[in-house]
Amino acid sequence: MMSTLCLASQSPRRATLLRQAGYDFQVFAPHVDESPHSTESPTALVERLSAAKAQAAFLAATAEGIGAPVLLGADTIVVLNGQVLGKPQNRRDAIEMLLGLSGKTHEVITAVTVASPGSEATRVVCSRVTFCPLPLSLVQAYCQGEEPLDKAGAYAIQGQAAVFVKRLEGSYSAVMGLPLHETSELLAGVGVHPRWMRL
């Protein structure tokens, strides 16, 4: 029986990346409490959340009768000087986040988990992003749109905020939310390949 790949995320960016890489998949959006634990490191946080999303989607997929599901969960955070920046609560919060990132280098940490019956594996990718100095007027103009509101750190590297990025060290797709190289390795490990490799 061929495994059914299930993406445990409502993120359109993760779905786009997975689709562009040539994978066929279904989308599940299980609810997971993303609140950090008091003593949890940023890396431990993304590892725990990516695994929790995959596990919750596994239960949802099996409840719907999907045979041999392979679940893909991921989580991304932005870290500046050891502080985790989540999604902004509103435009004012987004402006404050971006002004804090202005002219500085921050980390984007993404964890990806692949779970299937009898196995689970997680990989963590850390990238470093350096922003140019951002004038207040530029940040305010950017935050008038919807782009920053549902993004960790209040920006989308693949969107208009690409003009903020002076330097990127690491994985572009991981900063978007899904490290494709590591994801493909994990999926290959459980026998899931993009359609173009099956031709």
- Residues with a known catalytic role: 75
Residue with tokens 């890396």: 43
Where does residue 157 rank: exposed (0-12), middle (13-18), buried (19+ CB within 10 A)?
A: buried
| CB-based contact 50:112 (threshold 8 Å) | yes
Distance CA 136, CA 2 (A): 53
| One-letter amino acid of 46 | V
